[in-house]
Structure 1
Amino acid sequence: MLAENGDAALLGRVAQGDSAALARLYEAHAGRLFGYLLRLTGDRMTAEEVLQDTMLAVWRSAGGYAGGSRVTTWLFGVARRQAYYRLRGTPPPAPMQPVDHPDHAPGPDELAIAAAGGTPVAEAVRRLPDHHREVIGLVFVAGLPLADVAEILGVPVGTVKSRLHHARAALARTLATQGVPE
């Protein structure tokens, strides 16, 4: 809960135009967001671009955070929307004013996630339907609780559990046919 209070304070500072607070928020969450976006988009370059789009959107809309959800949940919701803008080919809303935001090179956690991209498990996840791949990314890559995943996706927790169950079963079947132990 202490980290969440710190994130809310950082987000409040971002809303006031504090770019250092945005950099700290980025450092705290970029690895998990990138892992989720990589699973969602299936492409490292696209995931990196969407992560930057996400942070730009956070910069622009931090003042709109009302505290109705955890900051982490709100960030993943922003990332999800930015990914869908990018994947649909729809440009995200234009910023109201030019924004100067920090540019960070990928960290070791991001490089490790990308390096695992060629494993049989990663290939099996890539073949899942979008709604299953998204739940896998949010639960296992991002490590979010099911209630947060449900809030991000806008579905009941039972639906998240069902999607997770079906995704895991599909992964198990795929890996079994490839001779990979579960």
Structure 2
Amino acid sequence: MDQPTDADAALARRLALGDTGALAEAFDRFAPTLTRYAWALADSKQDVEELVQDTMLTLWQKAASIDLPTGTLLPWLLVVCRNHARNQARRIAKNAGDELPPELAAPASEDDARERLRWVRDEIAALPEIDRKICELCLLQGHTYSEAATMLGLSVGAVTQRVSRSRARLRKAVTHDEH
């Protein structure tokens, strides 16, 4: 398991136990990324701050029941932030008598959902061939690292390292993070 996954799992356990220091640590770690993401979903500084605060509050309230299939907190936090943005946009639209912005509306069809996630497919397609195969096997088809390693003739450690690098690349693409 890679270090960010271990750190996220430990952080989630501490949050579930009610450790307020863990909440402060989570805020310090994830608030900058959530803020950048929230700016893509909201128009004002006040709305962005509200989205980040609501997301962190949800993390605190639901810590004991969080399921992290990828072992990392960031994807869960981004989904929660997007859900809060949708709710916020609905409230604002209802008060103004407007419709929900198209980027926050639920996809009308499976094809629409696929289209919205084209950038993910494009990022995966741009990976080196072996990394692309590993992503397809592990992240899309649900195979374990061990199964993928056997299928591709690699060690489990090599698969783990390549998945970690691919996730970092996708994380960088979604957050436009230079780190």
TM-score scaled by structure 2?
A: 0.52
Write out aligned runs for 1:1-182 (5 A): 1-69=2-70, 70-89=72-91, 130=103, 155-156=113-114, 159-161=116-118
Measure the CA separation in 2 of the matches of 1:164 and 1:20: 37
**Over 6 Å off, 4+ runs:** none
- Stretches of structure 2 that go unaligned for 5 or more consecutive residues are 93-100, 105-112, 123-179
Measure the CA separation in 2 of the matches of 1:2 and 1:24: 16
Measure the CA separation in 1 of the matches of 2:120 and 2:67: 29
Higher RCO (CA 8 Å, separation ≥ 6 residues):
1
Percent identity between matched residues is 30
Alignment RMSD (CA, Å): 2.8
- Stretches of structure 1 that go unaligned for 5 or more consecutive residues are 91-127, 132-154, 166-182
Structure with the greater alpha carbon radius of gyration: 2
TM-score scaled by structure 1?
A: 0.51
CA contact (8 A) 1:11 1:22 kept: no
- SS, match of residue 41 in structure 1: coil
CA contact (8 A) 1:15 1:62 kept: yes
- SS, match of residue 39 in structure 2: helix
Structure 2 counterpart of 1:21, one-letter code: A
Shift of 1:25: 0.8
Shift of 1:85: 1.6
- SS, match of residue 77 in structure 1: helix
CA contact (8 A) 1:11 1:25 kept: no
Measure the CA separation in 2 of the matches of 1:164 and 1:46: 30
Measure the CA separation in 1 of the matches of 2:4 and 2:74: 10
Deviations along 1:32-53, whole A, 9 cap, x unmatched? 1001101111211100011111
- SS, match of residue 41 in structure 2: helix
Shift of 1:62: 1.1
